Structure 1
Amino acid sequence: MLLAYLLFLAETATIVVASLLFLAWSPWGRKRGKGPSLQIIDLGQRLEERAVQLLRQRLPKKQAKALCKQRQKARQQRDKEDQQGCLYVIDFKGDLRASAVETLRQEIDVLLAARQEKDQVCVRLESGGGMVNTYGLAAAQLLRLREAGMKLTVLVDSVAASGGYMMAAVAEHIVASPFALVGSIGVIAQVPNFHRWLQEHNVDFEQFTAGKYKRTVTLFGENTDAGRNKLREELGEIHAQFRDLIGRYRPQLDVETVATGEAWLGERALELGLVDELATSDAWIQRAAETQKVLALQFSTRTGLAQRLGLKAQQVWDGIWTPPLA
């Protein structure tokens, strides 16, 4: 029964792959998404417009008109003086592969090209972590802002764990909501192994490599103690680099205490020094909008059907085989 089920799965996978190939080569599948477009939203102005709309409904017409005119004049004066520079807001919602890093790179390119004195950047970050190399790249992209002299703040509403905290740690200021999950400074790798099942069904698996440690563990071959130990050694090296990064940009932290792979809620994270302030991103940005111009930036790209299906297939595969994750 199990063998019949596996054959059914193989047939299904073949049909899915054939369908994806057909879509990829069909006219509508080959159609590429439009190039990225930059959207800019004045968050302070949008908030003011909604407040004015509410005031016009709540207050007598004459009183509302006078108050709205007064508020508009005050905001125009603040924007004109521009004493604190502009606060730019960008978003990063991380998946296992940190696939949003490409958009992040483009946003940072624009920010650096347009930066003025006293301009600042805040990143609304939500990520439970993922692949070490891509999250390391995302953290390096954020470092470009600091190296250019732009103050960087990271806002965490729900989670900045593992690779997500790797990104947050390079900021000068980290703000988390009281119940945000923060930390998880650790590394993990896991992989299923079907070697014994293949042996039971007289199926040989052959793998050829050059280099003693080209492949330490495998899905279908027989894993050895030497291979497992080598993988543990590699994970230890990655963890050590992770700890070094945290210690470099958060020197006030007791790395030995926090680099255990544990994650903490916002209030405890504040006590440990993982974050610097407790607030929601909405409250923090609204306060900032009272004294300076706040612009939200976002690059958007329309993707084709084949691209979206390919992404879904990749997500399924990521759930089966997990490389070293931070």
Structure 2
Amino acid sequence: MEFLYEYGLFLAKAVTFVLAFAAIVAVIASSAMKQGAKKGELEITDISEQLKDIEDEMTHHLLTKEQLKEKEKQDKKAAKVKAKADKAAAKKATGQDEPAHEPKLFVIDFKGSIDAKEVSALREEVTAILLVATEKDEVLVRLESGGGMAHCYGLAASQLDRLRQANIPLTVAVDKVAASGGYMMACVANKVLSAPFAILGSIGVIAQIPNFNKVLKKNDVEFEQLTAGKFKRTLTMFGENTQEGREKFIEEIEEMHDLFKGHVVEHRPTLDIEKVATGETWSGKKAIEMGLVDAIITSDDYICQASKNSKIIGIKYEVKKGLAEKLSKAASLSAESFLGKLWQNNRIFPS
């Protein structure tokens, strides 16, 4: 009887374990299916409301109670006057008793890597804006990139050009750097803004590759590379490079440089392209003299000024992380927390 009791207890534990494991697998599968159906989501932020909250908080700290009461009265009176004026303007323009269209400034952030992988989110953000924006609205892209692969940044620039093609005013603000591929994107805008010490330009193309052929020969190592097509491979890391291959490689770089220059001239025709397409970079103040930018102002100041007449809306497409990535991050944070406690208790890492 005792044996049967223990066996039954063991069987119950085993069944419980199997059911728990099955439930975990089901949750993981369900999560994976949902992530497969929806890779990311759009985050919309009311920046105007955030600025208003900051203003209200500062006001409450700086004014007396009497001054606050008087300000509230004035604000209510001004709001009524504005609403009445907007209603009258809309009725006069459309013949209908409808509120006038409030101009909107859509704000996008683009911080580019070498391969401009952020373009996958950018295309979603641009698409979302195109679905609702009108020619009375504006898009501000806060751009930061030192450049990277030409074909990747070419696609990123094309995404911004979709806004231009739809006649939606596009402004690019550079607070830190927009060089090479970064400027390839920036020049698409109707207006390019720059902070005083931001870096812009680098309208050039660079390619570099190490060659270990002499090292291999010195160590009696043979290297073979088979290609179909005369210029399938112009330069190689391990083979012996030829002058013909070098000349072809340089020709390809020059061709890409010409495409880059043509792209810039297309969007900023008044530029002296031969003067600026030397691969050099300039600070914001110098860049405005060269014609690379249109105004010296930070994105923060531009948004604050625009908030007086437009509703400011932040648009961000956030790619959802996979379950494995989430678990890995959670485990990492748990490990860091555990080690931190051990450090505080002086149990490890003696000084």
Residue in 2 that maps onto 1:219: 237
Per-residue deviation, residues 115-167 of structure 1 (Å, max 9, x unmatched): 23411111100111110001000111111001011011100001111111011
Q: Could you give the per-residue CA deviations for residues 220-271 of structure 1, whole angstroms, max 9, x where no partner exists?
A: 2222111111111000000001111111110111011001101100111001
Q: Distance in 1 between matches of 2:216 and 2:72?
A: 74
Q: Which residue of 1 aligns with 2:67?
A: 63
The answer as to whether partners of 1:52 and 1:68 remain within 8 angstroms in 2 is no
Residues 12-55 of structure 1: CA distance to partner in whole angstroms, max 9, x if unpaired? xxxxxxxxxxxxxxx89x96697211111111211111110121
Q: Which of 223, 226, 246 is matched with 1:205 structurally?
A: 223
Q: Is the 8 A contact 1:38 1:299 kept in 2?
A: yes
Corresponding residue of 2:52: 48
The 3 A distance-change label for structure 1 pair 70 and 224 is: farther
* SS of structure 2 residue aligned to 1:188: coil
The sequence identity of aligned pairs, in percent, is 49
Q: 1:46 to 1:201 in 2, by over 3 A?
A: same
Shift of residue 174 of structure 1?
0.5
Question: Which residue is equivalent to 2:287?
Answer: 269
8 Å Cα contact 1:82/1:293 also seen in 2: no
How far did residue 302 of structure 1 move? 3.1
Q: Name the CA shift for 1:60/1:254 in 2 (closer, same or farther; >3 Å).
A: same
Deviation at residue 84 of structure 1 after TM alignment: 6.0
Deviates more, 1:257-266 or 1:36-45: 36-45
- Matched letter for residue 119 of structure 2: V
Distance 1:270 1:56, change over 3 A: same
Pair 1:118-2:147 in alignment: no
Q: Where in structure 2 are there 5+ consecutive unaligned residues?
A: 1-27, 88-98, 327-351
Superposition RMSD on alpha carbons, in Å?
A: 2.5
Distance in 1, Cα, partners of 2:124 & 2:306: 24
User: What is the letter of the counterpart of residue 52 of structure 1?
Assistant: D
Aligned partner letter, 1:45: E
Q: For 2:263, which of 245, 253, 259 is the aligned residue?
A: 245
Q: Is the 8 A contact 1:85 1:117 kept in 2?
A: no
Residue 94 (structure 1) aligned with residue 98 (structure 2): no
Residues 141-200 of structure 1: per-residue CA shift (max 9 Å, x gap)? 111001011011100001111111011111111000111111110000011112222222
SS of the residue 2:245 aligns to:
helix
SS at match of 1:157: strand
The alignment of Structure 1 onto Structure 2 pairs a total of residues equal to 281
> 267, 274, 285: which one pairs with 1:256?
274
| Pairing 1:174-189 to 2, within 5 Å after superposition | 174-189=192-207
- Are the aligned partners of 2:142 and 2:173 in contact in 1 as well (CA < 8 Å)? yes
Equivalent residue runs for 1:1-326 within 5 Å: 35-68=39-72, 70-71=74-75, 77=82, 85-304=103-322
Of the structure 1 ranges 65-74 and 268-277, higher mean CA displacement relative to structure 2 is found in 65-74
Q: Retained in 2: the 8 A contact 1:217–1:223?
A: yes
Post-superposition offset of 1:65: 4.4
Task: Name the CA shift for 1:150/1:75 in 2 (closer, same or farther; >3 Å).
Answer: farther
Larger-Rg structure: 2
Q: TM-score, normalised by structure 1?
A: 0.80
Q: Partner of 2:107: helix, strand, or coil?
A: strand
